[in-house]
Amino acid sequence: LKIHSFLTALQGVSGIHRFLTDPADCWAYGVDNSKEHHLPDAVLFPTSAEAVQNIVQACATYQVPLTARGRGTGTPGGAVPIFGGVVLCFEYMNRIVKTYASDRVVIVEPGLLNGDLQKAVRQEGLFWAPDPSSQDYCTVGGNLAHNSAGPHALKYGTPRENTLGLVFVDGQGRLIKTGVQTSKGVVGYDLTRLLIGSEGTLGIIVEATLKLLPLPEKTITLQVFYRSIEDASMAIIRVLQSNIMPAALEMMDSGSLALIRQHQSLAMPQEACAMLLIELEGTSAGAQEAAEYLTPLLSGEGFSQLHKAETAAEKSALWAVRKALSPTLRQIAPNKINEDIVIPISEIPTFVHFVETLSHKHQLSIISFGHAGNGNLHVNILYDAENLSESKRATICLEAIFDKVLALRGTLSGEHGIGLLKKAFIGRELSQNTLDLMKSLKHTFDPHGILNPGKIFP
Ligand SMILES: Cc1cc2nc3c(=O)[nH]c(=O)nc-3n(C[C@H](O)[C@H](O)[C@H](O)COP(=O)(O)OP(=O)(O)OC[C@H]3O[C@@H](n4cnc5c(N)ncnc54)[C@H](O)[C@@H]3O)c2cc1C
């Protein structure tokens, strides 16, 4: 009844491209990459900020839950409307509002795909640094809501470091503008960075002012093999203690290499048990110099082979292998728990040794790879959910991994966020006082509790 009155109230409101209410049409909008599902009562496609304001105001009046949705690639279930209500889809708010190329600033709507943004600004010799592997099919709005990033966060940062301002609609339907269009600014509280990573629970982002960077003149990719993951980890520490900051520094463990051997054609030495992918960017001379400087640092204990990729084809083949790893995991086990923990760089050797021991003890494959330069590892526990014993052991491993991460001064999520799946664990990292303050912020932004309810907090 509530939803019926809500939809009636919105009849005639301009700026809504489509309403879906038939369960068969709404079904696909109830699921995301978490594979959790809940059917929404309605799916709305706004085309303007004003329409979003009207929808939020109607949701507040009729107490209808509202879940924003980019393209549903998020992993912790953030876009799943667990209490039904409305899913607000940004497919038709995907314009580039204005580019100020000489100021290195672009203003965009939230439904713009990250990949489409990159293509557009590349013509001006610029790029937006956040580069999740899913960039061709995830939105800027989703990237901001999860603070999603990719390999190049190492040198250039995440959306938090690459977003100057936002326009968002709060839980009362008010339009709020935050931030600046300049490279510096400290007027009032930093609501931009508060909204980024808030997973659609504090406000609905309707516009973003993004900071762009100049495309590098030259990129060199180094592929380096080691005899053990500990040897590779020590090389990472040596590189990050040097004067050279790679644009990206990715690591793959022996399980990842076994997968690559099985499913992809990539030549690698037989003894290799770990691989680093290192990207160096700058002027032509600068990138070459950086590669020469790093080579002896990479060739320490356990070193097996170094290959320098310079042609575009060679480089994209290497990155294709790295990007294919996550989807390939689904081919070898029916289920995976995919975590994206972060630990201080100096603790990588201790952590990877811990995971190997855990994997042997519980007889489960645990495959780790990812943005090792940030200490951000995708730890994948592979198991069969239909096998009760395996499921139980997978949960034991997950709990042990989280405890170890926190004991090593790490954090439970580097880029995926908390959403639905990780909310039970948030209290392990944040104190009750911190959680209480966050909840009171949530209440201030969203007094009716309609924005993505049931997420983040246990
Ligand atoms: C194959 C694959 C590879 C991936 N690789 C990476 C990676 O390398 N790095 C990484 O960080 N992530 C990665 N991801 C996860 C995912 O792509 C990112 O989290 C992405 O930012 C989600 O964008 P989306 O448009 O799909 O958002 P959705 O999944 O639709 O939504 C994500 C969250 O954002 C909220 N939201 C969406 N739009 C708005 C808005 N306008 N205002 C407020 N809240 C909003 C939603 O409510 C939800 O809580 C990967 C996913 C897949 C499937």
The pLDDT tens digits of the residues spanning 279-292 come to: 999 999 999 999 99
pLDDT at 273: 93
Q: Which amino acid type is present at position 142?
A: G
From ligand 1's centre to the CA of 30, what distance in Å?
14
Closest by alpha carbon to 207, among 195, 199, 225, 221?
195
From ligand 1's centre to the CA of 317, what distance in Å?
25
Contact 161, 150 (CB under 8 A): no
Cα 41 to Cα 51: distance, rounded to the nearest angstrom: 19
Nearest CA to ligand 1 atom 28: 72
Point out the ligand 1 atom lying closest to the alpha carbon of residue 455. 49
> Which residues on neighbouring strands pair with residue 339, listed in sequence order?
379
Residue 120's CB is within 10 A of a number of other CB atoms, namely 16
Point out the ligand 1 atom lying closest to the alpha carbon of residue 151. 8
Mean of all residue pLDDT scores within the chain:
95
Sign of CA dihedral 359, 364, 367, 372: negative
Cα 143 to Cα 163: distance, rounded to the nearest angstrom: 11
Sign of CA dihedral 453, 455, 456, 458: positive
Contact 374, 421 (CB under 8 A): no
Q: Which residues does 391 contact at the CB level (< 8 Å), separation at least 6?
A: 383, 384, 385
From ligand 1's centre to the CA of 262, what distance in Å?
29
Ligand 1 pocket, mutate which of 146, 325, 418 (most atoms under 8 A from CB): 146
Q: Where are the alpha helices (DSSP H) in 222-365?
A: 229-240, 254-263, 284-298, 312-332, 348-362
**pLDDT per residue over 361-404, tens digit each?**
999 999 999 999 999 999 999 999 999 999 999 999 999 999 99
Point out the ligand 1 atom lying closest to the alpha carbon of residue 32. 29
> For the chain, which residues score pLDDT lower than 50?
none
Ligand 1 pocket, mutate which of 133, 319, 442 (most atoms under 8 A from CB): 133
pLDDT at 1: 63
What residues are in contact with ligand 1 under a 6 Å CB criterion?
Answer: 32-33, 67-75, 78-79, 90, 110, 132-134, 138-139, 141-143, 145-146, 148-150, 199-200, 204-205, 326-327, 415-416, 452
From ligand 1's centre to the CA of 42, what distance in Å?
21
Q: Helix, strand, or coil here: 388?
A: helix
**Continuous segment of H or E residues that includes residue 438:** helix 432-445
Contact 212, 128 (CB under 8 A): yes
**pLDDT per residue over 186-201, tens digit each?**
999 999 999 999 999 9
Burial state string for 388-414 with b = 16 or more CB within 10 A and e = fewer than 16: eebeebbeebbebbbebbbebebebbb
Orientation of helix 284-298 relative to helix 229-240, angle to 10°: 130
